[in-house]
Amino acid sequence: MAPVVGGGVAGETFHKVNFAAPRSFAAAFKSDLKETLFPDDPFHDFKGKPLPIKAKKALQYFVPIFEWLPKYTRKLFMYDLLAGITIASLAIPQGISYAKLANIPPIIGLYSSFVPPLIYSVFGSSKHLAVGTVAASSLIIAATIEAKVNPIENPQLYLNLVFTATLISGVTQLILGVFRLGILVDFLSHSTITGFMGGTATLICLQQLKGIFGLKHFTTHTDMVSVIRVILKNRKEIRWESTVVGVVFLVFLQFTRFVKQKKPKLFWVSAIAPMVVVVTGCVFAYVAHVEKHGIAIVGDLKKGINPSSLKNLDFDPKYLSAPIQAGLVTAMIALAEGIAIGRSFAIMENQQIDGNKEMIAFGLMNIIGSFTSCYLTTGPFSKTAVNYNAGCKTQMANVVMSICMMLTLFFLAPLFSYTPLVALSAIIMSAMLGLIEYDKAYHLYKTDKFDFIICMAAFFGVAFISMDVGLMLSVGLALLRALLYVARPASSKLGNIPDTSVYRDMEQYPGAIDIPKTLILQLGSPIYFANSGYLRERILRWVRDEQAKKASEGDDVEHVILDFGGVTSIDITGVETLVEIRRSLEVKDIKVVIVNPRLEVMEKLIVTKFIDKIGKERVFLSIEDAIEGCNFSLTHQKDCGSEER
């Protein structure tokens, strides 16, 4: 860092402003790139360590199992064993249900809880995340691929495209992680996710009415209107037997949730409830031959673990657009869900989760999953919460779940073929009802109307148009707001808080005192092309208003002090605008003074020669100095600055 140079009208009276030469472009670029892609500085531990330790640390960083497995103890395993068995009991019904939601054979759902958790336990960095299939992604895959291929007429092609979509999703996640583009996930705001989840959950609930009512004909459209219309049209197909069983199961599941809410210690009641429903359903179906009464069962679950699906991957250009679309959308959604959930639980335990590393783990598990007859997996909220509550300590819980699933696939799979579809519908519906967060939406409404609109755009977009339209609408609105934030930055007039050297917004602090002959403006946010036109208008308006106000008091404006403390950066258009503002004000005999430019802004002002133009004596470290400086120039050098006009 170069030494501090010059500054101040009368050198010694004022505190020195740093006019050091700007950093080189390479230095500034490197620092910007680091902030953009490595905000968490993952390699801060590496500095000054010898090479073998660096290599070991790097291995532990990229493959977390090398970090936790050496420290693993028998005691930790007891916790993980219990948690693993618990989540396996959830994985079986969820696997079958969500596979049904995606219109693929139920056994694929079970396969998907075997391989991916193993991969995650090697590469994943979250201790609590339980890997599995999720409803939202299952529905998106189904909706997108159904548009190209009918899953009933051409089930094999449909399944192949689902595997292809999974591969594309995994590759996307891997690429995002490797290039550290976790920043993209940041653009899915909480409000968007709340609305999107709510909308998707509503759709899925409606779709489950097919199972609950035991309907034979249904629509491949996913929007609310089509689904309600098809139910009304086929209302004569509704089977009361199925409906009764479904409602009973649903009431039971909702009751266990209610119990959990009232007594969080009884969380296991709601955790095992889906398994209870499935087992009860199977027994009931086996004993009562329910198929004869219009209650369909899953049917045909082959014994044995995942076959290879390498040859199933289908890149036929005729259909490729569907898996690409499904893959890209689900990659983002799955990441947003998985990372947000992993992060939430990590925060509870005061641990750090690296979003980019999680992306790599998710990407690898989906790539390998697509080769071994699995479809898209991520970290579902329900399973992860159960895992955490069941006391899991490390990623070993996923390994335990994986082994349980393997045993199930080898020995128990045929038993589950008696599962009534209506039981699965009830399980899905119950899970979905928990995802519609009325409270959160109401909270948004009360606290931030624009966030509420973003949330509702996602909800209604998903419910009435389609999932991607809803998502894009909501993200678009959120981006619009982001752009408006930068296009219309706040500025305020400052006044002196009595008996202090502090200057604050006069609207916020009505007691603050005006400074004679001076207008102090605080700017915020970067100044650049998108807001420089606005800022010019706004500053000139501030000046005009202040002139009118001061004129009515027999005073006038001779100095405009611009507080740059809140200006984080500036571009060429911004600097040109400053030049214009200065010119416009000097015509009115008003001098512009700048206070406290930040490092990056100062660099740009020096390199564009703006500082030379206004003169170093017009740049101050604090508002107090600036006011003193202005008074000094008013009394001692009435015409100071006129020579440079």
The number of helix segments (H) and strand segments (E) in the chain equals 27, 6
What region, left, alpha or beta, does residue 289 occupy, with left being phi > 0 and alpha being psi -120 to 50 degrees? left
Given candidates 85, 584, 631, 632, which one binds a copy of itself under the rule CB under 8 A? Answer: 584
How many chain residues bind a copy of itself (CB under 8 A)? Answer: 101
* Shortest Cβ 585–a copy of itself spacing (Å): 10
Q: Which stretch binds a copy of itself (CB under 8 A): 31-39, 80-88, 297-305, 390-398?
A: 31-39
Structure tokens, 276: 């209870």
Q: Which stretch binds a copy of itself (CB under 8 A): 73-81, 136-144, 296-304, 498-506?
A: 498-506
* Shortest Cβ 588–a copy of itself spacing (Å): 8
Neighbours of 409 (CB within 10 A): 20
Q: Of 129, 105, 104, give the one whose Cα is nearest residue 117.
A: 129
Residues 517-556 touching a copy of itself, rule: CB under 8 A, are 522, 524-526, 528-534, 537-538, 540-541, 544-545
Q: Is the Cα torsion angle 617, 620, 621, 623 positive or negative in sign?
A: positive
Given candidates 6, 30, 40, 179, which one binds a copy of itself under the rule CB under 8 A? Answer: 40
Given candidates 237, 241, 555, 571, which one binds a copy of itself under the rule CB under 8 A? Answer: 571
* Shortest Cβ 206–a copy of itself spacing (Å): 28
> Does an H or E element contain 155, and which?
helix 155-178
Q: Is the Cα torsion angle 45, 340, 329, 456 positive or negative in sign?
A: negative
Given candidates 5, 10, 11, 15, which one binds a copy of itself under the rule CB under 8 A? Answer: 15
DSSP class per residue in 69-106: STT--HHHHHHHHHHHHHHHHHHHHHHHHHHHHTTS-H
Residue 302 in contact with a copy of itself, rule: CB under 8 A: no
Residues 451-470 touching a copy of itself, rule: CB under 8 A, are 451
Residues 589-628 touching a copy of itself, rule: CB under 8 A, are 596, 598-600, 602, 604, 607-608, 621-622
Residues 117-156 touching a copy of itself, rule: CB under 8 A, are none
Residue with smaller CB distance to a copy of itself, 138 or 531:
531
Q: Which residues pair with 566 in a beta bridge?
A: 524
Neighbours of 389 (CB within 10 A): 18
Residue with smaller CB distance to a copy of itself, 246 or 526:
526
* Shortest Cβ 550–a copy of itself spacing (Å): 16
* Shortest Cβ 610–a copy of itself spacing (Å): 10
Q: How far apart are CA 239 and CA 489, in angstroms?
A: 60
- Cβ contacts of 255 within 8 Å, gap of 6 or more: none
Given candidates 27, 407, 490, 513, which one binds a copy of itself under the rule CB under 8 A? Answer: 490
What backbone phi and psi angles, to 5 degrees, belong to 314? -125, 115
Residue with smaller CB distance to a copy of itself, 218 or 445:
445
Given candidates 347, 407, 513, 551, which one binds a copy of itself under the rule CB under 8 A? Answer: 347
- Cβ contacts of 239 within 8 Å, gap of 6 or more: 213, 214, 293, 294, 295
Q: How far apart are CA 351 and CA 335, in angstroms?
A: 19
Q: Which stretch binds a copy of itself (CB under 8 A): 120-128, 381-389, 394-402, 486-494?
A: 486-494
Residue with smaller CB distance to a copy of itself, 69 or 181:
181
For residue 262, the Cα-to-chain-centroid distance in whole angstroms is: 30
DSSP class per residue in 528-557: SHHHHHHHHHHHHHHHHHHHHHHHHTT---
* Shortest Cβ 273–a copy of itself spacing (Å): 30
Residues 181-210 touching a copy of itself, rule: CB under 8 A, are 182-183, 185-192
- Cβ contacts of 131 within 8 Å, gap of 6 or more: 113, 116, 117, 120, 124, 365, 377, 378, 379, 383, 398, 401
Q: Which stretch binds a copy of itself (CB under 8 A): 213-221, 280-288, 431-439, 578-586?
A: 578-586
* Shortest Cβ 128–a copy of itself spacing (Å): 16
Given candidates 243, 576, 632, 634, which one binds a copy of itself under the rule CB under 8 A? Answer: 576
Sheet holding 491-496, edge to edge: 503-505, 491-496, 518-524, 559-566, 591-595, 619-620
Residue with smaller CB distance to a copy of itself, 300 or 537:
537
